[in-house]
A = this chain, B = another copy of it.
């Protein structure tokens, strides 16, 4: 990641601008509107570089393609709508302080994903 290019600008900007985690395809669709002929490989390469640099974080939703969001947000988790598949940010962390783990296991991090119906899908 030593050079500044139009494609990297665009990809960075898209992730910075949106307030929900995006899948690579979504990034391609959006950034591709600013850079003609943008390739999916470049999106992956750039996203991975941004993750390395700590500017972007990976959001893994079980059973879904990996998504990415800007780093530095407060610790939080995600809500995945069973209806439309959209992933929303949730504020805070609902994990109890006491987490029962087997003897001698070390917990480094955790993921919590809630599933259900978002407002729109619920009304529909």
Q: Point out the residue from B95, B100, B115 that lies within 8 Å of A96, measured CB to CB.
A: B95
CB distance from A66 to the nearest CB of B (A): 7
What is the CB-to-nearest-CB distance from A106 to chain B, in angstroms, rounded to a whole number? Answer: 4
Q: Is A104 within 8 A of B122, CB to CB? A: yes
Copies in the complex: 2
Interface residues on A, range: 35 or more
Assess whether A116 is interfacial by the CB under 8 Å rule: yes
Q: Which residue from chain B places its CB closest to the CB of A82 in the assembled complex?
A: B108
Closest residue of chain B to A104 (Cβ to Cβ) is B119
Q: How far is the CA of A110 from the CA of B111 in the complex (A)?
A: 10
Give the residues in chain B near A123, CB-CB below 8 Å: 104
Bound Cα distance from A1 to B119, whole angstroms: 37
Q: Given the complex, which residues of B lie within 8 Å of A49, measured CB to CB?
A: none
Question: Taking A90-B101, A94-B98 as contacts, is the C-beta distance between A108 and B112 under 8 angstroms?
Answer: no
Q: Which residues of B contact A94 (CB under 8 A)?
A: 95-96, 98-100
Minimum-distance CB pairs A-B, first 8: A60-B62, A104-B119, A108-B116, A107-B116, A94-B99, A106-B116, A94-B96, A106-B117
